[in-house]
């Protein structure tokens, strides 16, 4: 990625077809990078786990991270409960597998 993921906290997140929220936190787990996106009013009170592999570009000037997947793909991703699954390797692998099958990259 163009920027250190820790520097992206607070950036807006745009799927290929519209806004999904903003980055709440990032993490690295066993060599994997992902971000937790707070979807705010789009999916009320929800957080989604998005692997860094679906980031298509980072617009640092506008503080926006662009994804290569659609809003529907993010919404249909396997459930992620913040604080419960973020360090669960099995859950992370399920989510990564989902995005690898659905990625438009």
- The structure tokens listed for 24 are 């709440």
| Residue 105 pLDDT grade (very low, low, confident, very high; cuts 50, 70, 90) | very low
Half-sphere exposure of 68 (CA within 13 A, CB side): 14
Q: What angle do CA 10, 24, 70 make, to 5 degrees?
A: 90
37-60 per-position pLDDT tens digit: 888 776 666 788 888 889 999 999
CATH number reported for the structural domain that contains residue 91 in this entry: 2.30.30.240
- The structure tokens listed for 51 are 């692997």
> What range defines the domain where residue 15 resides?
5-102
Enter the pTM of the model: 0.78
The number of distinct structural domains making up the chain is 1
| Residue 2 pLDDT grade (very low, low, confident, very high; cuts 50, 70, 90) | very low
């Amino acid at each position: 990625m163009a920027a250190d993921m820790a520097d992206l906290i607070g950036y807006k997140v745009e799927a290929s077809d519209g806004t999904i929220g903003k980055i709440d936190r990032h993490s690295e787990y066993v060599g994997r990078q992902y971000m937790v996106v707070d979807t705010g009013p789009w999916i009320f009170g929800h957080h989604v786990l998005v692997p860094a592999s679906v980031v298509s570009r980072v617009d640092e000037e506008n503080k926006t991270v662009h994804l290569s997947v659609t809003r529907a793909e993010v919404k249909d991703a396997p459930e992620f409960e913040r604080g419960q699954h973020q360090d669960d390797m099995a859950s992370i692998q399920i989510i990564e597998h989902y995005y690898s099958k659905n990625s438009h990259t």
